[in-house]
Amino acid sequence: MASEAPDNTSNIIAIVSLIISIIAFVVAIAQALQQYLASAEGYRKCAKPVMGHWAHSTRRRFRLNEVRFEVLFETPVLFVGTPENKRGPVPGRGITNIDGSDESYVASNTIDESAQEVEDREAANTTNRFRRVHTIDDERATWVSLLTMLQRAERAGRAWDAKHAMTPKGIKYGAPDYSMVVQMQKRKRSWDYMPDSVLKPYAQTTMSHLAELAVMLGMRWRTFDPDTDNLRAEGNGMILTSSQYVGLGLGVSFSVFSMTEFGERRTMPAVNVRKLVFGCVETMYDDLALNFGGDQEIRRTLQLVGCKQDTIEKWFKRRDHVRSVSFELVAMLSTNIRIRGSSFRRLPNPTKDPWNDAFSALTIVTEIIAQIRKLATFPHVSSQVQSIIEAWEDLTDVWRTKDDEIDIDLLEKVHDAIDNIDEWLLAQPKATVISVAGSHVTTVLAQLDDLESFLSSRDCDTEQELFEHYFNEIRPLVAAANSGTGTTSGSYYSPASAHSISLEKKRLREDVWVALMWRMGLWGLLHDYEDGDLNVLPGRLMNTRLPVYIL
């Protein structure tokens, strides 16, 4: 019995030693495993609080040759194109249209507002009475919020447009053909190649696409100077700013700080808008564009419409009375951008002049037609004047008295009227139409430069006063101007300073000017700018592929 006691003690000691050894072995294995898992650098930075539902694509891949884990994840590459576009910057990857549909939400790893509220309540462990404040989500990559707002903008905008597609008479026009949309591709990335200065996964776009998608969200560019890495856009409750990241390049951050609105104020989703963002205006002529992207581009544009050097200098000196003459030139010659079946009217301002027009678009048209009716009482009235009056008669059934009463019926009728007047203008000699537009600009600028003129005195502060002056004073001067030269002196046109032209040519120029005034009024009714908007983007950056990273 005495000999058995030491044996039992030895067994107990051996068992305890074995247990301790096993525990030590398990701890050593756990430590080694923890070291391997810790080698997955960046894994926590690709989690759901940072990337939202994009975190589902995050995974660790063991690299046997380096005895460590590599973190792989996906982020979006954003660009602007047509809905039919099948070519993206990432080869072999599918393209998703950010169009606000359920399918698009799923494909872009974005959740709608109602689902977001549920997640917020669960995350905050609150009741239905509380909502999480997203302005404090500083741990989340800002491109996640940007994707969400792009989807909401499309869904809300299309819902608003569909609601207003029904006419007062119960007629519903066909679905509008939106020709511009933000598109997305998924790109696989490795945290191994993230610069040290970058602490969150980033999305990617280009300089030109960033400019376009900000405008699509209803923001306005305040500063756009890539030479100093200074970009800033704000508006519609959102803000976008830039920073320089060492080892990466130009990065931007996006945030929502207030209420947003994507209905009536939504930018028209037409492909022509992409050029407007950079100050380029496509005209009714395929080989002519008006470019307001910079001083040199403006000079070239004025030369194309027949303005001489003295007129160009006056343009940069003073070009506004009750509104800038640049808007008149755009409305006279720009292609009709409005989308059939859509009630959207908002465009980005392509000019360097702020849009502060207090005039009513409806009143402008009624004042123009009132002046055209007076012309119809003159001897030898042209058939073109009569056709414009007939076109007005077709509009009277759907005409409204206030701008906020403009509906789809009126927009469609005005669209038809512009198509008709464009058909007539395109049938006239191109040189004559362009010359008349240039002569109008020349004559108005010359009168603005003359301190004794009516326009320079700023006495014309109503639509009636302005267009009475235009039809009584500007019209005969433009009609009598020598084709291709506009005015022939530093002062505004007068018969003594003109080269004589034939009566037939003079009547044609007058008809063209009247048609351009009529078109200007109609175009301004179909299109609108945000109050105070102006273009600060240099035209040279249009279509640039300089990369920009969204963090």
Per-run averaged pLDDT (10 residues), the chain, 551 residues: 64 85 82 61 90 95 81 97 96 96 96 66 50 60 97 96 81 88 97 92 98 97 94 96 95 95 93 97 97 95 96 84 87 98 96 88 97 92 94 96 93 97 98 97 92 79 92 96 48 43 91 98 97 92 95 95
- Return the structure tokens found at 430: 């191109």
Mark out the alpha helices in 396-502 (DSSP H runs). Answer: 408-427, 430-449, 454-457, 463-469, 475-480
Structure letter (DSSP) for residue 492: P
pLDDT at site 35: 60
pLDDT at site 484: 44
Helix (H) or strand (E) holding 274: helix 273-276
- Long-range contact pairs involving 86-91 (C-beta distance under 8 Å, separation at least 24): 88/183, 88/185, 89/185, 90/185, 90/186, 90/187
Pairing state between β 528-529 and 346-347: parallel
Structure letter (DSSP) for residue 318: -
- What CA–CA distance (Å, rounded) separates 231 from 215? 13
Return the sign of the alpha-carbon dihedral for residues 509, 510, 511, 513.
Answer: positive
What is the number of helices (H) and of strands (E) in the chain?
A: 18, 14
Going from the C-alpha of 194 to that of each of 61, 312, 502, the distances in angstroms are 16, 50, 72
Structure letter (DSSP) for residue 396: G
Angle (CA) 118-120-125 rounded to 5° is 95
Which single residue is written with the structure tokens 């039992």? Answer: 8
pLDDT at site 128: 46
Return the sign of the alpha-carbon dihedral for residues 289, 291, 297, 298.
Answer: positive
pLDDT at site 115: 65
- What CA–CA distance (Å, rounded) separates 289 from 281? 6
pLDDT at site 189: 96
